[in-house]
Structure 1
Amino acid sequence: MPSQLEELVSFLHSPQPAVRQIALDNLVGFSTGSNATVFRYDNYRAISDLKGLARENSKLLVQQSVTILANLCDDLTMRKMIASDEGFLKYLTCKICDLRNTSADIMCILLTNLAKEDCITKVFSFTTMDSKDVTLDKNVFKSERIVDCLMDCFVKGSDRTLNKFANFDYLAYFFADISRFRLGREYFIQKQKYDGVIPISKLLVFTEKYDSKTRREGVASTIKNSLFDSEKHEELLSNEEINLLPYILLPIASAKDSEIDDEDMFNLPEELQLLPEDKQRDPIPEIICVHLESILLLCTTKKGREYLRSKSVYPLVRELEKNVENNDISELCDRIVNMLMRGEIGTDQIEEMPTRNAEDEKSRLSDDEDSEDDNAIVEVA
């Protein structure tokens, strides 16, 4: 005999809307932790039911069903079942870009959780024509590629300027996840045909958006992941259309870094030379660590180290270590100093990638490379 909870789960495919709503009202609280196993009842039929309910017109019904799906992503089997449904993935990504969608933000969380699966790279082939149920505003979205539309939502839609119901912050974590794959990294550093802009350059400004930890953290990880292909470093550092380095250094810098002498100050990127008196470092040590890991990745080639030396990165890192009491930050600062201040060996050979989640550069990063932070599932209360 099914338990009372299992009976509730079976009500999700009731033909009566009121019964389905009652089931959702009672099941949202059981979608996290050990209770989530109830959704395995009847050979995981609830997953199909919830995906169907996520396409309904009722705001409450959609938000509750998507919330449950997002929470169930903590279960590997259920996450794979959701992510492997290409039709649902196409609908989800397209619906996020529907500027009338009142559930766009919770859908961004679901998409972020699904991005832990390798099959997420399918989104690079999705177009706005793939979901017949959703029509996008062509005055806003100039590209037919869904990944471009998602980028536009994130960049143009912060502070609810595109969709009054959404700020799209959690797309930052989605971008971080897809940048784990070579296909994703290539997307972020290549100029796109529809607007002639390199995507990563659109994200950099958010490294100092101090009212949104989610944006800063996701963008910092996207930058770091985009640096795992060391053959791209010279282009990323020298291309003025990207202007990468200042946006890695600004979050770790403070106006109180007073012991940088005039010569070193003059060599810093212009954006760091005359900091306002109220300029503070990123308040989250873990985010500072991500930026320091990006600097370490840029230290893996001789040209990269030479460039960082020429831009006074060492004195800036020295000030950071001196003024911030955090063991992880200190350890990373020491490793950067060792890389930048040692003598060179005369060739431009690739060094071992000195980050916490990097493999040996000689074997290159595999496309399924990830970190503990990348694997974190966002649960919705």
Structure 2
Amino acid sequence: MESLQEISQYLCRDARLDLKVIALEYILGVTATVDGRELLLKLPEILKQLVILVQDSSIPIRKDAILTLVNITGDESGTNAMLIISESSNSIKEQEYSLNLIEVCLRIIMDKSSTLADPCCMILSNMTRPLYLVDRIIALIEQSGYTWDTIVAAFTAKQYNTTGAKLHYLGPVFSNLSQSSHVRRYLMDRDRCVIQRLLAFTEYSDSIIRRGGVIGTLKNCTFDTENHIWLLSPEVDLLSYLLLPLAGPEEFDDEDNDKLPINLQYLPETKTREPDPDIRLMLLETLNQLCATKVAREILREKNTYIILRELHKWEKDKSCLLACENVVDILIKTEEEIGLDNLKEVDVPSEYTKKFDKISKDFINNT
């Protein structure tokens, strides 16, 4: 602790560059361990200095400060500490350098010439992960001077950053933030066409991070049952983008093919399924969410969702995905008379049954 406090004097922005480099490299090394990160959290002045150093004139200093903060925000306790500092920055207007890490990261991300945009995206991904912090971070984003539209535009641009930064980690950021109904309302604003701009990334082969983040965002959007009809309408065509990654090269007869969404008809022999089981699970869970309402269930049946899931089930090896696939199929093969409810989310399941069902699912997944 004492050595860290002594090093703090060399982290000041007016310190000699060579001393600053050595001190920051030491701090970066400290954050490589859980104990080191916990020790740093007891020294909020160093945490503040790190945010200031992200804005330093020296690129190596900025880089090491950002990487240090990536490590710190990887822990929930670190995210909490940096969020408190960011919020306190709002009342400190006279400072030359901002202590608001959210605003600083956004400024770097939105700078097309920044070489440090990607690690800043990672910081935001880390900080938005705890659900109970999301609303506070949304408030800071909306106070930053950058609009949701400009952030989405940067993420969905073919190559926004001129230095080669990819901004893939904005995918998990949107996934985390879309846990908030406030952000979901923006994403599904029918006059903005935001969600439609994300759909193409459900099969984005260059980055599992971006692909998973977008699919997580789509999954969160399906929690609002009042939007199911719109999401499944030709205006959005969400079902096509959920089923295509789950579809393989299987051939179907003309009758079955004609019932499928147009993008899933007569797929080539080279068609492959989503390789990541966690992403396949999210896709199946999203379909399950869409099965909540009668009108959506009827659309899924009409679009022959069953035959895609039937073939997936034959191919699937992951037990969590198998169970999720069976859950959707079990609903789709039932008649609405058998289901007897318009909205399955309105069913009040007693807690003892919920625990029992959870145990059955876990036993199935763990049974080898």
- 1:72–1:79: 8 Å Cα contact kept in structure 2? yes
Q: Which residue of 2 aligns with 1:37?
A: 38
> What amino acid sits opposite 2:156 in the alignment?
V
How far did 1:6 drift?
4.8
Q: 2:256 and 2:140 mapped to 1: Cα distance?
A: 45
1:104 counterpart (104, 113, 117): 117
Q: Which residue of 1 aligns with 2:278?
A: 286
How far did 1:76 drift?
3.1
> What amino acid sits opposite 1:156 in the alignment?
A
2:238 counterpart (236, 244, 256): 244
How far did 1:325 drift?
1.5
How far did 1:33 drift?
3.0
Which structure 2 residues correspond to residues 85-234 of structure 1 after superposition, within 5 A?
Answer: 85-86=86-87, 87=89, 88=100, 89-116=102-129, 117-118=133-134, 119-123=136-140, 125-126=142-143, 130=145, 145-157=146-158, 160-191=159-190, 197-234=192-229
Q: 1:231 and 1:147 mapped to 2: Cα distance?
A: 23
| Bigger shift: residues 206-215 or 14-23 | 14-23
> What amino acid sits opposite 1:40 in the alignment?
L
Change (3 A) 1:78 1:162: closer
> What amino acid sits opposite 1:162 in the alignment?
N
> What amino acid sits opposite 1:241 in the alignment?
E
Q: 2:5 and 2:141 mapped to 1: Cα distance?
A: 38
How far did 1:10 drift?
5.1
> What amino acid sits opposite 2:58 in the alignment?
S
Q: Which residue of 2 aligns with 1:308?
A: 300
How far did 1:26 drift?
2.0
Q: Which residue of 2 aligns with 1:21?
A: 21
Per-residue CA shift, 1:20-49, capped at 9, x if unaligned? 22111222122133221231344x211110
> What amino acid sits opposite 2:118 in the alignment?
D
- 2:112–2:160: 8 Å Cα contact kept in structure 1? no
Which protein is richer in helix relative to its size? 2
SS of residue matched to 1:102: coil
Residue 50, structure 1, aligned to residue 59, structure 2: no
- 1:9–1:27: 8 Å Cα contact kept in structure 2? no
- 1:217–1:287: 8 Å Cα contact kept in structure 2? yes
Q: 2:277 and 2:240 mapped to 1: Cα distance?
A: 19
- 1:154–1:168: 8 Å Cα contact kept in structure 2? yes
Q: 2:123 and 2:157 mapped to 1: Cα distance?
A: 21
RCO higher in structure (CA 8 A, sep ≥6): 1
SS of residue matched to 1:176: helix
Q: With structure 1 as the length reference, what TM-score do the two structures score? A: 0.80
- 1:300–1:351: 8 Å Cα contact kept in structure 2? yes
Q: 2:161 and 2:190 mapped to 1: Cα distance?
A: 24
- 2:31–2:72: 8 Å Cα contact kept in structure 1? yes
| Structure of larger gyration radius | 2
- 2:202–2:215: 8 Å Cα contact kept in structure 1? yes
Q: Which residue of 2 aligns with 1:135?
A: none
Q: With structure 2 as the length reference, what TM-score do the two structures score? A: 0.83
- 1:267–1:310: 8 Å Cα contact kept in structure 2? yes
- 1:126–1:147: 8 Å Cα contact kept in structure 2? no
How far did 1:324 drift?
1.9
Q: 2:323 and 2:193 mapped to 1: Cα distance?
A: 33
SS of residue matched to 1:24: helix
Q: 1:10 and 1:56 mapped to 2: Cα distance?
A: 16
Q: 1:201 and 1:95 mapped to 2: Cα distance?
A: 26
- 1:54–1:63: 8 Å Cα contact kept in structure 2? yes
Q: 2:46 and 2:346 mapped to 1: Cα distance?
A: 44
Q: 1:288 and 1:21 mapped to 2: Cα distance?
A: 44
How far did 1:339 drift?
0.7
Q: Which residue of 1 aligns with 2:96?
A: none
> What amino acid sits opposite 2:38 in the alignment?
T
Aligned residues: 329
Per-residue CA shift, 1:95-139, capped at 9, x if unaligned? 310111111111111111121322122156235xx4xxxxxxxxx
Change (3 A) 1:252 1:163: same
Change (3 A) 1:14 1:148: closer
Change (3 A) 1:242 1:94: farther
SS of residue matched to 2:41: helix
- 1:210–1:282: 8 Å Cα contact kept in structure 2? no
What is the identity percentage for the equivalent residue pairs of Structure 1 and Structure 2? 30
> What amino acid sits opposite 1:299 in the alignment?
C
- 1:303–1:348: 8 Å Cα contact kept in structure 2? no
SS of residue matched to 2:284: helix
Q: Which residue of 1 aligns with 2:365?
A: none
Q: 2:165 and 2:126 mapped to 1: Cα distance?
A: 18
Change (3 A) 1:98 1:294: same
Unaligned 5+ segments in structure 1 are 131-144, 361-381
Per-residue CA shift, 1:222-256, capped at 9, x if unaligned? 00001111111011111x3322111111111111x
Change (3 A) 1:12 1:206: same
- 1:101–1:165: 8 Å Cα contact kept in structure 2? no
Q: Which residue of 2 aligns with 1:266?
A: 258
1:337 counterpart (307, 329, 348): 329
